[in-house]
Copies of this chain bind each other. A is one copy, B any other.
């Protein structure tokens, strides 16, 4: 057996009829813009792949570098740039409108095609034998943002998704700056939509979101860019994810009080603008079910979610485990120890 020096703690237990059936380990970090840690559990210094949880930070250059003004980006479009959208009709309409204004065909998108993340949208397409296109990809808004930036800077569109393209270099520079992690030598991977995904220490992702929450001290153009993104997200929560999804439900409830973004493989990040805090968490095994319950617990611990919020969001924050007959037979429970008061 290999040595396993410091496994992350169990964050979430899955309980059936009172028996501990499964368990999810992970790491969590809550930090402020100055780098003061509010909560840390597990290996918060270890680099992780932030995946789609980093999208709101990747969207900054679209506005800061001027493309959003040139292309007259709408609030829906700015929210879509930060989204893992469901591929529902509203998302397709916004993405198609943006693409038309750029005067480009859909195959300029390098993101590949997949069935919509939205369950009923996917069911309808599959049952009708329809083939998804690139616009259905949950990242199509992010790709449109990258393309808009490249167009505005007079850069070639060919290869905009590659790590050495100026658009990706600019994103890396902004990510390094806002997270405080120098990404020059960081592990580089390919995200599900083909763009670079650099490994970033969990505490640095949380720090990036804390600075997204609290922009004091930044150059004014970056402060303005982040403010516009926050307003767009708060105004169009359905554009950040989709109708029945946790991110959308949370942002609908807290509006400008919360930016929250899910990522593949159990990553979750959040900015709490009124608190000046950033949150990042990663479930070791990649389970979204645990990431959602853990994020809810952290937001409750931080008092961002009050009793009324908790009651309104109960199906998300305390998802019941039911048997096929509909009876509740289990629950997701916060493991003791890592959150002081839950």
Q: Which residues of A contact B (CB under 8 A)?
A: 1-2, 4, 7, 9-10, 14, 16-19, 21-25, 41, 48-49, 110-114, 120, 123-124, 126-128, 137, 139, 187-194, 197, 199, 265-266, 283-287, 290, 323-327, 329, 335-338
Is the pair B323, A192 in contact by a Cβ cutoff of 8 Å? yes
Closest to A290 in B: B285
Task: Return chain B residues, CB-CB under 8 Å to A17.
Answer: 187-190
**A286 — nearest CB in chain B belongs to which residue?**
B22
User: How far is A120 from B329 in the complex, measured between Cα atoms in Å?
Assistant: 28
With A4-B10, A285-B24 as contacts: A19 and B189 at CB distance below 8 Å: yes
Q: Chain copies in the assembly? A: 2
Determine the chain B residues whose CB is within 8 A of the CB of A19 once the complex forms: 49, 187, 189, 199
Cβ contact of A1, chosen from B16, B41, B189, cutoff 8 A: B41
Instruction: Name the CB-closest residue of B to A287.
Output: B285
Judged by DSSP, the binding face of A is loop
Specify which chain B residues have a CB less than 8 angstroms from the CB of A187 in the assembled complex: 17-19
- The reply to whether B287 and A16 form a contact with Cβ atoms under 8 Å apart is no
Q: Is the CB of A194 within 8 A of B22?
A: no
Which 4 A/B pairs are nearest by Cβ-Cβ distance? A127-B127, A112-B324, A112-B325, A17-B189
Given B21, B25, B189, B335, which contacts A265 in the complex, CB threshold below 8 Å? B21
Whether the Cβ atoms of B323 and A190 lie closer than 8 Å is yes
A337-B10 contact, Cβ under 8 Å, with A18-B189, A187-B19, A324-B137: no
